[in-house]
Amino acid sequence: MVRYADWLSTTRTGQLAMAVAWLNMLAERAVEWNIPANIQTELAALTAAAKSALEQSQNETTRTPVATAQCRTAFAALAAKMRDIKRRYFYVPPLSEVDLVSLGLKPHDSTPSPSGKPTAQVTIGTFLAGRHELGVKIAYVTGSPADRANKGYRVWYRVVEAGETPPANPEELGKSFYTKHKKEVIEFDFGDSGKMVYFAAQVENEGKKGPWGPLVSALIP
């Protein structure tokens, strides 16, 4: 599973939509923003490849483990290119606040962030989002989201194979991603359908983590 930044959608359709929006903006503003023409060409090619790979992986006739792997590879390449464009051309030097918002990005925050360790505890609720997709929703058990120390959330997870011993506590989950949102949609691999996935979450602020939330589980659709 891909780890996502807080600016990039966790769904492939969302990533494609952002890439297309960027291409439309670059068609009008690339010269003004000093972005080379080859950057637009590369982004367009990767977007088209990702769109085609997604269609192949979702089609009942062409959907195979190979198609799924090709789709994952295509979207990893698209995300890497978008990350590079964002870093090299959108934020250095930074575009105007209006331009960044129009690209679906957030202006840099010049206000210093608190560095204290979070003390709030959060739990996770799950909901169905689509084929091979589960939504996760953060809820506070203790503390308040208004506390400035509660800057983001570390969501831990582990997919359990049939017959495999499930995790006994959050420390056994192993994989994680960071988000600043209270709701995310996670896209799993085609072969994970029907398996159980276990979750737990912690509040996180600049690498400092709060107490573990309870272990919860859900069936991957």
Q: State pTM to two decimals.
A: 0.53
Peptide bond into 36 cis (omega under 30): no
Could you read off the pLDDT of 92-141 as tens digits, one per residue? 777 888 888 888 888 766 555 545 789 999 999 999 988 888 999 999 99
Take residue 65 and report the two structure tokens written for it. Answer: 């483990």
pLDDT at 1: 40
Take residue 161 and report the two structure tokens written for it. Answer: 């194979």
Take residue 144 and report the two structure tokens written for it. Answer: 């308040």
**Which regions in the chain score pLDDT beneath 50?**
1-4, 114
Take residue 57 and report the two structure tokens written for it. Answer: 């992986």
* DSSP label at residue 88: I
Query: How does strand 152-160 pair with strand 175-179?
Result: antiparallel
What whole-number distance in Å separates Cα of residue 199 and Cα of residue 219?
11
Q: What domains are defined for the chain? A: 12-102 (no CATH), 121-219 (2.60.40.10)
Q: Which of 160, 170, 178, 179 is nearest to 199 (CA)?
A: 170
Alpha helices in the chain (DSSP H): 12-29, 37-58, 65-85, 97-102
